[in-house]
Structure 1
Amino acid sequence: MSPRSSSPIHALDALKRAGLAGTSAQIAVLDYLQQAEHGHFGAEEIHRRIARTGERMNLSTTYRVLHQLVGAGLVANVPLGKDHSLYELNTGKVHDHLVCVVCGRVEEFSDVTINRRRAAIAKEFGLRFAGKTLALQGVCADCAARAHPARP
């Protein structure tokens, strides 16, 4: 895990502590996620935002770097289906996600009962967690209201 940073130097330190090489692409992606106020970003969005800063990097490199950062525990992957994931800085805070399938809004939540049940299931099956992300998908209240406005 890495604290939020305001410079690529802190990103490089975090990468080195995690056993990564600290390439310019790794620094750019981690630094972007550290500086982002808070959020969940698709790989394409991360790539676009980094490109706006002048950093030249292929989209395939962005995906590869995200995979490396997830493997090192610096970034968390929120899987949303077969070919779509969101990424966020791994703060170490255990939480799950509510994802609107219409607007894409992501809300974080933590529930003690879910966390206990998840641990019990892992123990029952002798599973050591490699990741423990739960993403519940549905339609948020705002999108539902727009689709079916209340009648007077």
Structure 2
Amino acid sequence: MPRSLATAPILVLNGPNLNLLGARQPEIYGTDTLADIEALCARTAAAHGASVEARQSNHEGRLVDWVQEARDRHAGIVINPGAYSHTSVALLDALNLCDGMPVIEVHISNIHQREEFRHHSFVSRRADGVIAGCGVQGYAFAVERVVTLAAQVTGGAGAA
């Protein structure tokens, strides 16, 4: 059952190689670091009376475990699955278990302007919204959307 923003944080999940933001292909991903993104998400959530818990892993199973835990501990999920977007049915299956919980998929780059294999995302089949190509600002948009959706689901305050 979805949790209220007043009692549960939004889970911000980042997949493989996102720990290297700022150094990894700055011409595609920019120079902001993962810490910068986490701070942006925290500020955005706080402006709406919410909070975030940010995590990153290069390991698919760990991301799956965190999604499963989110069912009982979080108000919604913002997820940048990185390369697992295009390969992970396991991550999709875990997200499908999050009935009624808002899930927003975010990508820093526009995956549809990149290599053909990046055009398909398994995670998008479950996501309530997909934000791509807005740079790190996409994370702020994603947090705001989770706030709006979570407030609608739980009837709580904080709608953006």
TM-score range with shorter-chain normalisation?
under 0.3
- Structure 2 length as normaliser, TM-score? 0.26
Greater relative CO, 1 or 2 (CA 8 Å, sep 6+) = 2
Which structure has the bigger radius of gyration? Answer: 1
